Amino acid sequence: MLIILLSSLFTLIKSDIINIQISTGNVSATIQGQTCCEADTRGWMFRGIPYAQPPVGDLRFSYAQRMDPQGVVNATEYGDYCSQGDHVQEDCLFINVFTPVGVNSSMRLPVFFYIHGGGWEGGSGDFGPGIYPNLVNRGPLVMVSINYRLGPFGFFTSREDTIPGNFAISDMIESLNWAKRYISFFGGDPSRITICGESSGGESISTLTLSPPARGLFNQAIMESGSAFGGGVSLCDYRNSSIQLAMTLGCTTADQWNSGQNFAQILQCMRSINATTLQDADLNFPYRHFMDWGTVIDKLYMPDTLENLAMQRPSMNVMAGDTTTEWLLWEQGNIQNNLNSSSFTRQGVINQLKGLYEMHCWNNYDAVVQGAQQYYIDANNMVDDDHVGWMSLWITVGSRNLSEIKRNCSAYE
């Protein structure tokens, strides 16, 4: 997979400072990057360029605010990645640009704009030298990657105007705006931007194709193992992470939250909480799902249902795909230690299907469960002690985007 091929960190053998001059309108800047690395991995790299105002203080839980380059910008190191796990950093909105050697503003190379995965709770735009032989020099093309806010910092929401949510989506769109304005100075063609992502990065790409403010910022899309239409990804009313977090931090009670009258005070309280305290509270939630944070309907970035937004989006070239048995990654422990348990029998797989977090995101849970069971399980004649067979079936179910369950269930037709 792409993320595996390219994820090792850069090893700089000998680097020279490379200056890119930006001069347009009121913007005058020198972006100082480096050469990388040796032989077939040689190229230019400009890392850790701020593309939006740091989302701290009163900008926490606000949409991304434009930041243009000015003066000399040191782009020789990656910027810090966004809060995840035990790493806490709110000042993390950085963009990286990777080019062939010798680019200039007249070259107009195609642009490959990559958005990382990680369940919208982890990951970064850091890449290793494998991007040069596999993408940049092979194109040739200009590659862009970004950091964006994760977890509660990117998706906390009151589901109304006070704390509208979708802050991570605003980051992605602001970074695309930055690329549209300035990528030509790095040899890229702003009219030929292809956006690409894998896993939650693919879900991000799918979301951007639906979001009205993203229109005109790219012209092609590649989605790998992710879609905005996957259950549990977007617009899931079952998800209640925001109220849980606010209550845990003492910023609200259930009655105050549900009254809808106190969100301004809740926002003020949540902004006053130390970032480490906030991150720790999120990490200590009872585990339910690896994507406890996601998009919601708002008035700007996702102003309608997914289906209606899909009917309104412009025509474009799209490439989409997944890995046949990628759920195998999450079942390695069970294969080694728990294969012969009752979890991998007919009833065990039915119970796991019913318990899937994503299933609760469909409006008619019972009908979807019944349809999925009929399609995947009822037609199967395996005996209960064929644990390998039932494990294989469960991996197949887990590997398929759950929007496919929706398509395949006769109860949903």
Q: List the structure tokens of 6.
A: 């390219």
Q: What is the 3-state secondary structure (H, E, C) of the chain?
A: CHHHHHCCCCCCCCCCEEEEEEEECCEEEEEEEEEECCHHHCEEEEEEEECECCCCHHHCCCCCCECCCCEEEECECCCCCCCECCECCCCCCEEEEEECCCCCCCCCEEEEEEECCCCCCCCCCCCCCCHHHHHHCCCCCEEEEECCCCHHHHHCCCCCCCCCCCHHHHHHHHHHHHHHHHHHHHCEEEEEEEEEEECHHHHHHHHHHHCHHHCCCCCEEEEECCCCCCCCCECCCCCCHHHHHHHHCCCCCHHHHHHCCCHHHHHHHHHHCCHHHHHHHHHCCCCCCCCCCCECCCCCCCCCCHHHHHHHCCCCEEEEECCCCHHHHHHHHHHHHCCCCHHHCHHHHHHHHHHCHHHHHCCCHHHHHHHHHHHHHHCCCCCCCCHHHHHHHHHHHHHCCHHHHHHHCHHHC
Query: Is the pLDDT reported for residue 403 higher than 50?
Result: no
Query: Is the pLDDT reported for residue 143 higher than 70?
Result: yes
Residues 345 and 390 sit within 8 Å (Cβ to Cβ):
yes
Predicted local confidence at residue 87, as pLDDT:
97
Handedness of CA 363, 369, 370, 376 (dihedral sign): positive
Q: What's the CA gap between 373 and 265, in Å, rounded? A: 45
Residues 168 and 120 sit within 8 Å (Cβ to Cβ):
yes
Handedness of CA 375, 377, 381, 387 (dihedral sign): positive
When mean pLDDT is compared across 16-25, 191-200, 400-409, the lowest value belongs to 400-409
Predicted local confidence at residue 290, as pLDDT:
54
Cβ atoms within 10 Å of 304's Cβ, excluding its own: 15
Query: Is the pLDDT reported for residue 247 higher than 90?
Result: yes
Which positions ≥6 away from 307 have C-beta within 8 Å? none
Q: What's the CA gap between 32 and 197, in Å, rounded? A: 27
Q: What is the pLDDT averaged over residues 215-228?
A: 93
pTM above 0.85, yes or no: yes
Distances (CA, A) of 4 to 37, 40, 155, 239, 291: 19, 19, 26, 30, 21
Q: Where in the chain is the domain with CATH 3.40.50.1820?
A: 2-233+303-321
Handedness of CA 179, 182, 184, 186 (dihedral sign): negative
Query: Is the pLDDT reported for residue 210 higher than 90?
Result: yes
How would you classify the pairing of strands 71-74 and 27-36?
parallel
Predicted local confidence at residue 127, as pLDDT:
95
Distances (CA, A) of 325 to 34, 146, 332, 387, 392: 39, 28, 12, 17, 9
Percent with pLDDT over 70 in the chain: 90
Query: Is the pLDDT reported for residue 392 higher than 60?
Result: yes
- For the segment 31-64, what is each residue's pLDDT rounded down to a tens digit? 999 999 877 789 999 999 999 999 999 999 999 9
Q: List the structure tokens of 286.
A: 């009872």
Query: Is the pLDDT reported for residue 216 higher than 90?
Result: yes
Predicted local confidence at residue 396, as pLDDT:
87
- For the segment 1-16, what is each residue's pLDDT rounded down to a tens digit? 444 344 444 444 446 8
Which positions ≥6 away from 110 have C-beta within 8 Å? 139, 141, 142, 188, 189, 192, 193, 194
Q: Amino acid identity, residue 151?
A: G
- For the segment 324-383, what is each residue's pLDDT rounded down to a tens digit? 787 888 899 999 999 999 999 999 999 999 988 777 777 788 998 899 899 989 988 999
The CATH code of the domain at 2-233+303-321 is: 3.40.50.1820
